[in-house]
Structure 1
Amino acid sequence: MAAIPEAPVEALARDGALYAAQYGVTLVEAMRRLRLQQESVAAVDALALAHADRLAGIFIEHVPDYRVVLLLTGIPPIPDERIAIADLTLTVEYRTGAPATRAAVLAALSTRAGDIRAAMSYPPGMGANPRSGMLVVVVRSGEIASEGAAALATRLGAIAGVPVEIRSAAGVDSNSAIEGGSRLLGSNAGEKRRFLCTSGFVVTDGARTAITTAAHCPDEMRHIDATGGATPLRMIGAWGARYQDVQIHEPLDPAPPLEPLFRADAVDGHPRRLTSWRNRASTRVGDYVCHRGERTGYSCAEVEFVDYVPPGDLCAGACDPVWVAVKGPTCRGGDSGGPVFSGTVAFGIVKGSSYTTDGTCRRYYYMSTDYLPAGWTLLH
């Protein structure tokens, strides 16, 4: 008998338990905050539009209490406000004095990233920091040692045309080597070695249902269900350059159609039924999101960047500034392709990870479901 999917409130409670433990609040308060995160999207989008000419960033703070912060350029202050959303109240704080608008930093990422890459011995990671209103450049520690962080920030800022802050990236970045959140095993043609990946979400093109994973996973895959049963898959297509890292597979026997289910936690055996999705444009730094990976299991953490450029050439060349990065410490090879979600809402599909020199996960990054290939949408 198939496992009964969790109700949305049960899924929220499970995520809420991790939130409560991380931030030292009650489960009731944790669930209130996660509800507020989901239900305040339209209100925060409206605030971003209203302050677009001064907007340097939007982010969420969880300590000492839950609030949305808008960082603005210029000096004139704006009073904080409290917005009623259904039976909830959202606190909004305005901070001023940012050195550049978000639009200016994103323009620098779009037009000057190639020049910044060329100015470094190894292509750095980059992202817009909504907490400072600056362009973050993540470089190897040797670059800082040889030039100094301040001098390097000044040099790269002259290239970018916006203020730059430098962060060290000692370690390595790499791609993280039927229902979503399940084990996928596969091999490349001509190789005996087997590779482990994680399935993402169920998708449809209107005629077929299929499952996603990462494009850098093997083309020949088998889906392993919760009972250990294996289903051979046929790859429909793969998209793995610039802003995408996704493969789509269907069972060799496509009947019956797949259901919109994914697993958050393989331990309890209960899948979740997808109800909606979050666009990248409405994802905020500080959003509390969860992911499921075959190597690391089920974990949740805060979004760190929403306009991230992974370092190196992990996107069949340079990556576009559209990847969403989530703070560690839970990621590992084998999590590739896994679902990123909050409750029963889809956020994206895991691409890769950044590690410190001792192998600790610094952050992982995912492809927003905005960038599913043309003609394919999430089944929900």
Structure 2
Amino acid sequence: MRRLTLALLLFALLGWACVARAQVLSPAMSQPLPEPGPQSESQSLFQDGAEYARQYDVPIEEAIRRLRAQAASVTATDALAERFRARLAGIALEHRPQYRIVVALTGTAAVPPEVIDAAGMRVPVLFRTGAKTTREQVLWAMTNHQAAIRAALPSPPSMGLDPRTGELVIAIGSATPAEQSAIRGRMSAIAGVPVRIRQIESREINLAPEGGARVEGINSEDGRRYYCTTGFTVTDGTRFGVTTAAHCPDVLSYRDPHGGTVPLDYLGQWGWGYQDVQINLSAAPLDPLFFVDAARTIERPVAAQRARASTRAGDFVCHRGERTGYSCALVELTDFAPGGELCGGACLPNWVTVAGPTCKGGDSGAPVFSGTTAFGILKGGSYRHDGSCAFYFYMSVDYLPTGWHLMSTAAPVITSPTLVAG
């Protein structure tokens, strides 16, 4: 029984991978990692902090201090959002020129700067006034005018709220400056809120199953065998399972390094509107662990989860994909609707985007996390013509199927997520 449990844990948090291609490691993998085995909270922070220090050119001690403050400041930013709800355009974390929280507000009435204590770090809070619309107004516009916006452009665009400015950001393909100006005017007239055009050379796609290792199944549509991996371990109180993206093959088997296989019974998939998740059941209990290194030797526990409503632009998060390994970047948009028909039709603005450049086809289903906090399950990404990743987007762990929650070292916290719907 113990051998089965450990074998099943081996495929947690790997993402999709291609059998015929070599794995591409992120720059972060050049950082020295702890010895194999489950990480402590401090080891998890050190690994993520090393990547933060590399990206922002700060000492490792300062990087860890900021990541601790990031986690500890959630309660304060939730309170700020409620306090300024009538004027709130958005909340974001800034990392340069200093680490601080920025609250964007409508109107011109100034609000004096504040300071919050977050895990012993004094974090400045700056209030920027002058936003034209509130977050709630932009979300209402996205939800109620999405169909008209999609119909007014040659292909259905992605869109999201920029919490730094309160603008509705609409992503389009190639266009001249004059064409962008004309599109912006038309979209603003339709939505009734300020619009900013973001030009991206290619639109969003699900990070397709390209084959890989550890878990395999037959795609019922084309009859081909694909390999995929999963994100987090979950339970409904009596059963245990693992998550992956809903566009993974239904029936999966784990293939261990010695050639043995363990079947994983298909429970169901949820892939409409605001979800992209599948659960396959384990015959044995599972532990709340996931891998964070390319070699799948370093495990990290899940101790908490972050709700989408409490996620901020500027949060520093990581993911571990089979194609790209371990990498970290900043959250960009927390109210995002992918373009095209990726959600069984139009997507609701309930997705979260994370900046590139590290994502590739094959990472679908990978977990998104920071330290020992689970954020989400990776769905898709947007690629430029040169193949580079503009951003990826994930489903928040709030949106696990009803009755299921993450396996955690802490007592389970079952939230009631807020959906943006028409």
Q: TM-score, normalised by structure 1?
A: 0.94
Instruction: Write out per-residue CA displacement over residues 123-174 of structure 1, whole angstroms, 9 at most, x where no aligned residue.
Output: 0000000112110000121xx3396111111110000010100011212421
Structure 2 residue aligned with 1:356, among 369, 373, 384? 384
Task: Rate the CA distance shift 1:140–1:87 in 2: closer, same or farther, 3 A.
Answer: same
2:10 maps to none
Matched, 1:159 2:190: yes
2:120 maps to 87
**CA distance, structure 1, for counterparts of residue 254 and residue 62 of structure 2:** 38
Higher mean Cα deviation, 319-328 or 3-12? 3-12
**CA distance, structure 2, for counterparts of residue 285 and residue 227 of structure 1:** 43
Q: CA deviation at 1:352?
A: 0.5
**CA distance, structure 1, for counterparts of residue 339 and residue 276 of structure 2:** 15
Matched, 1:329 2:357: yes
Instruction: Write out per-residue CA displacement over residues 260-317 of structure 1, whole angstroms, 9 at most, x where no aligned residue.
Output: 1111213361111110100000000110000011111110000011011111000010
**CA distance, structure 2, for counterparts of residue 147 and residue 346 of structure 1:** 43
C-alpha RMSD over aligned residues: 1.7
Structure 1 residue aligned with 2:325, among 282, 297, 302? 297
1:20 maps to 53
| Number of equivalenced pairs | 371
**CA distance, structure 2, for counterparts of residue 131 and residue 310 of structure 1:** 20
- Identify unmatched segments of 5+ residues in structure 2: 7-35, 409-422
Q: CA deviation at 1:223?
A: 2.9
Counterpart mapping for 1:162-173 below 5 A = 162-173=193-204
Which one-letter code corresponds to 1:297 in the other structure? G
**CA distance, structure 1, for counterparts of residue 381 and residue 260 of structure 2:** 29
Question: Retained in 2: the 8 A contact 1:105–1:128?
Answer: yes
- Identify unmatched segments of 5+ residues in structure 1: none
**CA distance, structure 1, for counterparts of residue 224 and residue 45 of structure 2:** 39
Larger relative contact order, structure 1 or 2 (CA cutoff 8 Å, min sep 6): 2
Question: Retained in 1: the 8 A contact 2:173–2:203?
Answer: no
Which one-letter code corresponds to 1:264 in the other structure? V
Question: Retained in 1: the 8 A contact 2:69–2:119?
Answer: no
Counterpart mapping for 1:227-376 below 5 A = 230-251=261-282, 254-255=283-284, 257-267=285-295, 269-376=297-404
Task: Rate the CA distance shift 1:227–1:104 in 2: closer, same or farther, 3 A.
Answer: farther
SS in 1 for 2:333: strand
Higher normalized strand content (fraction of residues): 1
Q: CA deviation at 1:186?
A: 2.3
**CA distance, structure 2, for counterparts of residue 191 and residue 86 of structure 1:** 52
Question: Retained in 2: the 8 A contact 1:73–1:98?
Answer: yes
Which one-letter code corresponds to 1:274 in the other structure? V
Q: CA deviation at 1:183?
A: 4.3
2:93 maps to 60
Question: Retained in 2: the 8 A contact 1:198–1:334?
Answer: no
2:33 maps to none
Higher mean Cα deviation, 102-111 or 277-286? 102-111
Task: Name the % identity.
Answer: 53
Q: CA deviation at 1:192?
A: 5.2
Question: Retained in 2: the 8 A contact 1:235–1:248?
Answer: yes
Instruction: Write out per-residue CA displacement over residues 351-373 of structure 1, whole angstroms, 9 at most, x where no aligned residue.
Output: 00100011101111000001001
Q: CA deviation at 1:197?
A: 2.6
**CA distance, structure 1, for counterparts of residue 144 and residue 276 of structure 2:** 22
Counterpart mapping for 1:218-229 below 5 A = 218-224=249-255
Question: Retained in 1: the 8 A contact 2:105–2:129?
Answer: yes
**CA distance, structure 2, for counterparts of residue 146 and residue 342 of structure 1:** 38
Matched, 1:130 2:159: no
Q: TM-score, normalised by structure 2?
A: 0.85
Which one-letter code corresponds to 1:239 in the other structure? W
Q: CA deviation at 1:190?
A: 7.2
**CA distance, structure 2, for counterparts of residue 235 and residue 123 of structure 1:** 32
